[in-house]
Amino acid sequence: MQSFTVHTGIVAALPRDNVDTDQIIPKQFLKRIERTGYGDVLFFDWRYDRDGNPDRAFPLNAPQYHGATILLAGKNFGCGSSREHAVWALRDYGFRAIIAPSFADIFANNCLKNGVLTVVLPPAEIAQLLARDAAGLHSLKIDLEECQVSGEGDFQAHFEIDPFSRTCLLEGLDEIGMTLKREAEIAAYEQTRRVGV
């Protein structure tokens, strides 16, 4: 997994609440058996018009967001289907981090497993970020070592993150490898009680 320590990039604002994973990647793109190659179909139904051309009304297509690596989203981002393809699409598009007032549980977990940082900030700070965006300030720095988001226009915010999630991201850990090292405990557990069905 790609590690995340400090990242500076362009922030694209998509201030809509309850963006579900069906919007992030529609069902017709879930038939592939690979983990990569989903960037072009991210937000497919919103991003392209019926002829397949970029829809100018969709925020991500705005020229100021070209090359964006940080997404500023609304509350409950990533709700609905557990499809990890949603995170693969965001990552393949180039996003390294998503900032929102809240995230859906499975989506946030999936982000973590793919080196995509989810930053939860309170509504007041999200509003500040949106004001910066309106004022043409599009760059932000996210420091996971310090748990801080900062940028021009005197923006500075601290965020909380579960300590183990933070370590996994900082070090790009292979979680399966770590759990496999607990083989003795897992085997002992299986011995002590009848497991399964």
Partner 1 sequence: MTARTLFDKIWDRHLVCAGPEGSSILYIDLHLVHEVTSPQAFEGLRQAKRKVRRPDLTFATLDHNIPTAGNRMVLEDALARTQVEALRKNCREFGVPLFDLDAPEQGIVHVIGPELGLTQPGTTIVCGDSHTSTHGAFGALAFGIGTSEVEHVLATQCLVQKKPKSMLVRFTGATGAGVTAKDLILALIAQIGIDGATGHVIEYAGDAIRALSMEARMTVCNMSIEGGARAGMIAPDETTFDYLKGRRFAPQGEAWEKAMKQWAALKSDPEAKFDSTVDINAAQIAPFVTWGTNPGMAAPVTGEVPDPDRGASDSERNSMARALEYMGLNPHTRIADIAVDRVFIGSCTNARLEDIRSAARVVKGYKISGSVQGMIVPGSQQVKRAAEQEGLHRIFTEAGFEWRESGCSMCLGMNADRLKPGERCASTSNRNFEGRQGAGGRTHLVSPAMAAAAAVAGRFVDVRNWHYKD
Stretch touching partner 1 by CB under 8 A, among 5-13, 25-33, 51-59, 144-152: 25-33
Q: Shortest distance, CB of residue 183 to partner 1, whole angstroms?
A: 9
Provide the minimum distance between the beta carbon of 178 and partner 1 in the complex, in angstroms, as a whole number: 7
- 118 is a site residue for partner 1 (CB under 8 A): no
Q: Judged by CB, which is closer to partner 1: 95, or 151?
A: 95
Does 87 engage in binding with partner 1 (CB under 8 A)?
A: yes
- Nearest distance in Å: CB 10, partner 1: 24
- For the chain, counts of helices (H) and of strands (E): 8, 7
Among 154, 80, 141, 69, which Cα is nearest to 110's?
80
139 membership: H or E segment, kind and range: strand 139-143
Binding to partner 1 (CB under 8 A) within 158-177 occurs at 162-164, 167, 175-176
Confirm or reject binding of residue 20 to partner 1 (CB under 8 A): yes
40 binds partner 1 (CB under 8 A): no
Could you tell me which stretch among 24-32, 60-68, 140-148, 151-159 binds partner 1 (CB under 8 A)? 24-32
106 binds partner 1 (CB under 8 A): yes
Q: Report the 10 Å Cβ neighbour count for 177.
A: 8
Question: Per rule CB under 8 A, is residue 145 in the interface with partner 1?
Answer: no
Give the torsion sign (CA, 55, 58, 60, 62): positive
Find the shortest distance in angstroms from Cβ 14 to partner 1: 13
Burial of 39 (0-12, 13-18, 19+ CB in 10 A): middle
CA distances (Å), origin 114, targets 58, 89, 90, 91? 26, 11, 10, 8
Instruction: Examine residue 55 and tell whether it contacts partner 1 (CB under 8 A).
Output: no
Report yes or no: 170 and 145 within 8 Å, Cβ to Cβ: yes
Among 129, 42, 52, residue whose Cα is nearest residue 89:
42
- What Cα–Cα distance (Å) separates residue 64 from each residue in 60, 93, 137, 138? 9, 16, 10, 8
Question: Given the rule CB under 8 A, which residues bind partner 1?
Answer: 15-18, 20, 22-23, 26-28, 30-35, 45, 74-76, 79-84, 87, 102, 104-106, 109-110, 113-114, 162-164, 167, 175-176, 178-180, 182, 185-186, 189-190, 193, 195-197
